Amino acid sequence: DQQVKQNSPSLSVQEGRISILNCDYTNSMFDYFLWYKKYPAEGPTFLISISSIKDKNEDGRFTVFLNKSAKHLSLHIVPSQPGDSAVYFCAASSFTSGTYKYIFGTGTRLKVLA
Amino acid sequence: DAEITQSPRHKITETGRQVTLACHQTWNHNNMFWYRQDLGHGLRLIHYSYGVQDTNKGEVSDGYSVSRSNTEDLPLTLESAASSQTSVYFCASSGQGLNTEAFFGQGTRLTVV
């Protein structure tokens, strides 16, 4: 049973436009959500996160939105740049229950077209 | 600078052989994790540890084992390698505080022939 789902395996966006990557989760105990970026032949690198007490977190061109009632989060990249082309994973954890493991989605491959 | 390193980066082994993948972190993190990445499955948790002598099974632990004898290392052992274990393996670590991120190693590409 996939607790964290990314239903879009791939996404193509023109340079300068907005990229929106989506993630859904099923476990209501999750209270911390993260996005990671992964380039080929490299390990995933942390991008941005959000706690369940917030509904938005912004860091430069990256914004994560959390809709707890819908169990849905999204990552917005504005403006998109060719260097953003990578696989993006969302992840979730439930720290307040004493569980520090991270459950990942299947990833979305973003291609930003110049 | 603190880091997390995996070795080897690439390995080819034969079916039935025992294989150990190394993971070493200098962050002094209590939490360490092993994931495998496969097309269509994303990153799946194999085993994890919250401290020395603590190990826990993840969602795909069959055929794998770990041991944690010190803070810095969490080696992953494939007891009898199978072709289904051909994958890219990532080690990660995180601190003890709430709302912290995990830091990943560069990965080990394992091929079982």
Q: Distance between CA B19 and CA B25 in Å, rounded?
A: 20
Query: What's the pLDDT band for A11 if we cut at 50, 70, 90?
Result: very high
Average pLDDT, chain A: 95
CB pairs under 8 A between A and B: 61
**Cβ <8 Å between B104 and A89:** no
pLDDT at A25 over 90: yes
Q: What is the pLDDT of residue B37?
A: 97
**Cβ <8 Å between A96 and B40:** no
Task: Decide if A96 touches B, using CB distance below 8 A.
Answer: yes
Task: Decide if B40 touches A, using CB distance below 8 A.
Answer: yes
For chain B, 113 residues long, give each residue's pLDDT as a single digit of tens.
779 999 999 999 999 999 999 999 999 999 999 999 998 899 999 999 999 999 999 999 999 999 999 999 999 999 999 999 999 999 999 998 778 899 999 999 999 99
Query: What's the pLDDT band for A99 if we cut at 50, 70, 90?
Result: confident
Task: Decide if A12 touches B, using CB distance below 8 A.
Answer: no
pLDDT at A1 over 80: no
Q: Distance between CA B4 and CA B98 in Å, rounded?
A: 20
A96 interaction partners in chain B (CB closer than 8 Å)? 98
Q: DSSP characters for B4-66?
A: EEEE-SEEEE-TT--EEEEEEESS--SEEEEEEEETTTEEEEEEEEEETTEEEE-TT-TTEEE
Q: CB–CB of B79/B71 below 8 Å?
A: no
Mean pLDDT over A72-101 rounds to: 92
Of all residues in chain A, the percent with pLDDT exceeding 90 is 92
Task: Decide if A89 touches B, using CB distance below 8 A.
Answer: yes
Distances (CA, A) of A56 to A7, B11, B22, B30: 21, 42, 38, 29
pLDDT tens-digit series, residues A87-98 = 999 999 987 777
Task: Decide if A62 touches B, using CB distance below 8 A.
Answer: no
